[in-house]
Chain A
Amino acid sequence: MTNPTLAAGAVERHLRARRDTGRGLLMPYITGGITPGWTDYLRAFAAAGADAIEVGLPFSDPTLDGVTIQQASQAALARGASTRGILADLSGLPDLGVPLVASTYYNLVLHDGPAAFCAALRRAGVDGLIVPDLPVHEADELTDVAAAAGIEPALLASPATPQPRLAEISDRSRGFVYAVSLMGTTGERAALAASAAQLTERIRRVTDRPILLGFGISTPEQAREARRHADGVVVGAAVMRRVLDGAGPDDLRVFLTTLRQALDQE
């Protein structure tokens, strides 16, 4: 394998550097525009030891999200949140010391065109992008312009993905590989799915890029278990349920600190 770190962008360099110190990676998710002072959550996440932060740009029809993130998206849109507004909020922020990764559905990327979209992300200080309804075989239109704009599009891998396709996904993914732990939508689950371990093991065979495991990870115990297989975790619905229930940035800092500790123990 050629040295992948040479070509890596900011997200991947950052995640690799932290992983290489033995640290379990934590990427919490927040729906952009969910509350008036929503960027305070980002500061709290960074303070709690996040290694990257995923910022959801809400879409009217989130087809891969369970009820919690659907509700969060609807609530944000009902408040008047828009891609433009969220990116404007982000550009006003001081450097948090961790990369920001936007996530949204492909319709919003296509709206002004992938090149303009990536340029806007870049201007707002975003480094990475996750598009759950853009699988690797449709991604060409985005990947080239993203590279030119300095945006790293991370691709998703699923338990149903056959091995050769997994190799292609891992190869074409930038920043990290997003391993979807189970066959299902986002949302809290009682236990980490058995498919999570198998999938991460299959991805490891084909890449040395950081692997973040997401979907269903909601408790410190699950984070600890996930860490045994992957380089880190993405935590979305467990964060957003608390936000929807009225928890403020300090409450989320406390919650994420418990996940941070669980990852550090493993």
Chain B
Amino acid sequence: MRNVLPWREPVQLDGTMGEPLARGRFGEYGGRYAPESLVEACREVDEAFREAWADPGFRGALARLLAVHAGRPTPLTPALRLSQALGVRLYLKREDLTHTGSHKINNVLGQALLATRMGRRRLIAETGAGQHGVATATAAALLGLEATVFMGERDIERQALNVFRMRMLGAEVVPVTSGSRTLKDATSEAMRHWVGATGDSHYCIGSVVGPDPYPWMVREFQRVIGEEARAQCAAELRAGVPDHVVACVGGGSNAAGTFAGFADTQARLVGVEAEGGAGAARGRLGVLHGCRSLFLQDGDGQITEAHSVAAGLDYPGVGPEHAHLRDLGRARYVTVTDEEALAAAVRLARTEGIVPALESAHALAWVIRAAGDGDLPAGSTVLMTLSGRGDKDVSTFKELL
């Protein structure tokens, strides 16, 4: 099925995706729908984050870690041959070139540094594709913390390489056998575990989801993608700003970080979801994992299982700020199928010599389709965040191609 919502004129957001409203709200979404046992822990994270984010010392330490450990800034790569074939000018923001291979490291270094500042000894995380788990294990090793990563059994099978990497980095990987045995259930299990571990552990959520302040905090830690890209586009493009800014959306962290750099411009923002995990495009209002947002549900209000060839997009909901951007018409959310994503991955490999993560291939698949059907006018400029590299997906590629 195709999602063909008409464009609305972009509303300019004052500031660049700023602080949430009172009680962690983005419009009617967000909030802190956490069990009472976690409310105090959320409040402590909120307080610590506000203080740290206002502290130049913290900002400096994080910027340095991002530079010397994660390899920032990442380049902006023009996709020359593909652009020529598509008739648009496509630029790739290369989060695949960060240490550990995806944008997840940006957020995790921020949260791990925050955890250290809060005196926590251990990080708890959930992971789908394994990239957030690998990033968490990496930051924990770097800062001398312990890490426990919850991962659905089904994801453990399809992301074996990342499971091995986490273990090699010294993290404990806990298989989750409940429900769909994917990211949704790993997230539930991590939250349950956190209830009993708030004293010494920091829950390091991997996307712009969860109870306030996570959606906001994670977006701020990912803002670096959008800010770098904004400066790079200013240097690279005649107009200074691309016509379209595109990113894939699981929970929505790489998209939120990218959009944050362009929210106050005329650029059209496009979030690309997996056909089977389209929280923003097809979800309805609900509450899950601590926040009020859009979730895939059945007629009884039960959360339905998402299905995507990309484990990182296998989540039935979307972060609250995306739900709000959708309502405002500031961003548009579209879906692509597994087949389109696989084909797009091959196309990028063959035209640019870059094997993208299956998640990122979704964003590219939309660009390819939209250039073909005129949704992206000929000659327009497109910035697309390549959220990660495809090494982790080689066994899926081998099986399906």
A residues near B, CB below 8 A? 59-66, 70, 74, 77, 82-84, 105-108, 110-112, 132-138, 155-162, 165, 169, 180, 183-185
Contacts and interface: CB of A to CB of B under 8 A. Distances in A.
A166 to B, nearest CB: 10
B196 A133 contact: no
B31 interface: yes
A111 B285 CA distance: 8
Interface stretch (B215-223, B266-274, B296-304, B391-399): B296-304
B39 A107 contact: no
A107 B295 contact: yes
Interface string B49-86: 00000000000000000000000000000000000000
B37 interface: yes
Interface of B: 23, 31-37, 39-41, 178-179, 184-185, 188, 191-192, 195-196, 198-199, 285-290, 292, 295, 297, 300-304
Nearest to B37: A158
Q: Which of B290, B301, B302 has the most CB of A within 10 A?
A: B301
B35 A64 contact: yes
A110 B111 CA distance: 32
Contacts of B303: 60-61, 107
Contacts of A64: 35, 37, 192, 195
A165 B23 CA distance: 16
A132 B187 CA distance: 17
Nearest to A184: B196
A135 B34 contact: yes
Q: Which of A61, A106, A111, A159 has the most CB of B within 10 A?
A: A61
Contacts of B23: 137-138
A60 B40 contact: no
Which 3 pairs from chain A and chain B are nearest by CB?
A: A111-B301, A158-B37, A60-B302
17 contacts: A60-B304, A61-B179, A63-B191, A106-B33, A106-B287, A107-B287, A107-B297, A107-B303, A110-B286, A111-B301, A133-B35, A135-B33, A135-B34, A155-B36, A156-B35, A165-B39, A183-B196
B192 A160 contact: no
Nearest to A162: B40
Contacts of B297: 107, 111
A135 B36 contact: yes
A185 B196 contact: yes
Contacts of B39: 135, 137, 158, 160-161, 165
B179 A135 contact: no
Contacts of B188: 61-63
Q: Which of B23, B39, B179 has the most CB of A within 10 A?
A: B39
Contacts of A184: 37, 195-196
Contacts of A83: 300-301
Given A133-B35, A138-B32, A161-B39, A110 B285 contact: yes
Nearest to A77: B302
Given A60-B179, A133-B290, A161-B40, A107 B301 contact: yes
A183 B33 contact: no
Contact of A185 (B185, B192, B290): B192
B179 A183 contact: no
B48 to A, nearest CB: 16
A156 B286 contact: no
Given A61-B184, A84-B300, A134-B33, A183 B286 contact: no
B32 A185 contact: no
A138 B179 contact: no
